[in-house]
Structure 1
Amino acid sequence: MSAAQPVREPLRVRRASGDDALVVGALRLQAARAAGAPAEPGFLDRFARVWDAQAHPTWVAEHAGRHAGVLIARVVADLPWPGVVAAARLETVTLFVAADAAPYDAEVRAALTAALRGWAREVGHTVAA
Structure 2
Amino acid sequence: MEYRNATYNQAGTIDVEIDHADFGWIPFTASLDDPDPLGRELYKEITKDSSVAPYVPPPPARQQVAKSVVQARIIDAGMMGAVYAALTANPIYFARWFAPGHPVVYCDDPDVVGLVQALGLDPAAILAP
Where on the TM-score scale, by shorter chain, does this alignment land: which range? under 0.3
Which has the greater radius of gyration? Answer: 2
Q: TM-score by structure 2 length?
A: 0.23
Compare relative contact order (CA 8 Å, sep 6+) and give the higher one, 1 or 2.
1
Q: TM-score by structure 1 length?
A: 0.23
Greater strand share, structure number: 1
